[in-house]
Structure formats: structure tokens, C-alpha cells
Amino acid sequence: MRLLPIDIVHHEFSHRLRGYDPGEVEEFLAKVGDDYEKVINENARLKEELGAWQKKVQRYEEMEETMRSAMISAQKASEDIRESAQREAELTRREAQLEKERMLNDLSELEARKEHFKIEFRTLLETHIKMLE
């Protein structure tokens, strides 16, 4: 059974001859009871304070978990964006390569037409010169 401060203050001892001074005993018990009550009150206050700190710690742990999840999501999004950018860059590079090849083919075709036109023009001029002679 738990001893309460009131039990200490109101405890009565049996009287004997040549025993302790009852006034001193009562005064001592009153002091012990007051101190014990302070200890109990301090203990209750500390328990409340501990509960408040535990709630704060729990909130911080929840915030930490939320931040960890957000960070993981951000990393995943960053990786997705990077991969997408790499795919887009590769696609753009391939399209540029195809355009370059098409332009080179067009240029080759134009060069061939130019040479063909020069030959035809030269032939035409030579024919007209022969006709004039």
C-alpha cells in the first residue's frame, strides 16, 4: 500500500515511558509529510513534462518521416526528369543526324544536277558554235 503525505502527518505512535518527545516527533512528521508531498507533486509535474516532451519528439519523428518521404519523392522525380531529358536529348540528336544526312543527300543531288546542267549547257553551246561555223 502506498504511503500518502497525510498518512505521515497523522500517524500516531504508541506512548511509552522514556520515549521520544511527542512534539518533536509530530514536528518531524509534519516536515517529512510536507517534503514527501512536494516530491509527489514534483514527480507528477515531471511526468506531465515528460509526456509533453514525448509528444514533441513524436511530432518531430513524424516530420522527419514526412521529410524523408518528400526527399525520396524528389530524388525519384529528379531521376525521372534526368532520364526523360536524356531520352529527349538522344531523340533530338538522332533527328539532327537524320536532318544532316538528308541535307547532305540534297546537296549531293544538287551537285549532281549542277554537273548535269553544265554538261548539257556545254553540249548545247558546242552544238550552236558548230552550227555557226
| Domain extent at residue 29 | 5-97
CA atoms within 13 Å, Cβ hemisphere of 110: 6
Tell me, yes or no, whether 119 lies in a domain: no
Instruction: Please state the pTM of the whole predicted model.
Output: 0.50
* Structural domain count of the chain: 1
pLDDT in tens, 36-63: 999 999 999 999 999 999 999 999 999 9
Low-confidence ranges of the chain (pLDDT < 70): 1
Per-residue pLDDT, 109: 95
Asked whether residue 132 is domain-assigned, the answer is: no
Tell me, yes or no, whether 47 lies in a domain: yes
Q: Phi first, then psi: give them for residue 2, nearest 5 degrees.
A: -80, 140
